[in-house]
């Protein structure tokens, strides 16, 4: 087990299987549409590249970077755009790809921001969703896994920018 990691929560095989399922579902749901995968940097990158290869449709990718946590494990509720999309999204069918929805504050901010740019549709695909109530009832349209309310790392998710390269989702020691 890598330093600081307590236990594996979701194995690489489980992640792989679930992404193939999501890919098949998205391939059906977005057939004939104008799909744009919008990755939220940096956490969603690992998930996005695997998900994209499981979708059997023409699609494009773009990325947006926002900051909400700094180096802490608690959501500050303050969201800033660090990098905006490269291209206009008017008329596009946007699928926001997120690593994890915790408080939902980051997603709320992104969805409000995208709504002003006249896309054809906006949906959300999150690899992980923490099982807890969210103030405005915000939720993802496609969910990889529901997990307990613990801080997790791996498969794109970091703690102080580390652990993103773990091929599984794990719980840190001291959590
Ligand atoms: P939210 O705004 O509270 O929903 O948090 C969303 C962002 O915080 C995610 O995109 C992650 O980058 C980060 N985050 C939330 N929970 C975790 C976690 O358990 N591990 C690592 N990063 C997390
Ligand atoms: Mg992060």
Q: Which stretches of the chain are DSSP H helices? A: 12-29, 45-54, 105-115
Strand 152-153 to strand 93-101: parallel, antiparallel, or no bridges (unpaired)?
unpaired
Give, for ligand 1, the residue of 79, 80, 82, 100 to mutate: max count of ligand atoms closer than 8 Å to Cβ.
100
Number of domains observed in the structure of the chain: 1
Q: What is the rounded average pLDDT of the residues 54-66? A: 97
Annotated catalytic residue 102: yes
Q: Please tell me the number of the ligand nearest to residue 97's CA.
A: 1
- Predicted confidence band of residue 96 (pLDDT cuts 50, 70, 90): very high
**Nearest atom of ligand 1 to the alpha carbon of 40:** 10
In a domain, 51, yes or no: yes
pLDDT digits (tens, 9 = 90+) for 121-153: 999 999 999 988 777 778 899 999 999 999 999
- What gap in Å lies between CA 53 and CA 152, rounded to an integer? 24
Ligand minimally distant from the alpha carbon of residue 130: 1
**Of 50, 93, 99, 102, which one is the catalytic site residue?**
102
Q: What is the pTM of this model?
A: 0.93
> Does residue 172 lie in a domain region?
no
In a domain, 59, yes or no: yes
Secondary-structure breakdown of the chain: helix, strand, coil percentages, each rounded to the nearest 5: 20, 35, 45
Q: 175: pLDDT confidence band, cut at 50, 70 and 90?
A: low
pLDDT exceeds 90 at position 80: no
Tell me if 163 is assigned to some domain: no
Measured between alpha carbons, how far is 141 from 104 in angstroms, rounded to an integer? 13
Q: What does the pLDDT read at residue 84? A: 95
Ligand 1 nearest atom to the CA of residue 157, by list position: 21
Identify whether 156 is part of a domain.
no
How far is Cα 8 from Cα 166, in angstroms, rounded to an integer? 10
* Residue 35 located in a structural domain: yes
As given in the structure block, the two tokens for residue 46 are 């690992």
User: Domain with 132 in it: what CATH number?
Assistant: 3.40.50.2020
Domain that holds residue 129: 12-151
Would residue 164 count as lying in a domain?
A: no
In sequence order, the 6+-apart residues with CB closer than 8 A to the CB of 8 are 1, 168, 169, 170
Q: Are 125 and 101 in contact (CB under 8 A)?
A: no
Do the domain assignments include residue 78?
A: yes
Residue 39 alpha carbon to ligand 2 centre in Å: 13
Ligand 1 site-directed mutation target among 4, 79, 102, most atoms within 8 Å of CB: 102
Atom of ligand 1 nearest to the CA of 44: 10
Q: Whose CA is nearest to atom 3 of ligand 1?
A: 103
Asked whether the CA dihedral 66, 128, 125, 135 is positive or negative, the reply is negative
């Amino acid at each position: 087990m890598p330093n600081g990691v307590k236990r594996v929560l979701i194995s690489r095989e489980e992640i792989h299987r679930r992404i193939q399922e999501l890919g098949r579902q998205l391939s059906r749901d977005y057939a004939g549409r104008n799909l744009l995968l919008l990755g939220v940097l940096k956490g969603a990158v690992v998930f996005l590249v695997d998900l994209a290869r499981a979708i059997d449709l023409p699609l494009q990718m773009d990325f947006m970077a926002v900051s909400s946590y700094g180096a802490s494990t608690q959501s500050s509720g303050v969201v800033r755009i660090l990098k905006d999309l490269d291209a206009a999204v008017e008329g596009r069918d946007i699928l926001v790809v997120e690593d994890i929805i915790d408080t939902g504050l980051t997603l709320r901010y992104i969805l409000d921001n995208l709504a002003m740019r006249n896309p054809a549709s906006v949906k959300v695909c999150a690899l992980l969703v923490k099982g807890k109530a969210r103030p405005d009832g915000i939720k993802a349209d496609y969910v990889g896994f529901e997990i307990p309310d613990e801080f997790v790392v791996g498969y794109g998710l970091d703690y102080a920018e580390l652990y993103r390269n773990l091929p599984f989702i794990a719980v840190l020691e001291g959590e």
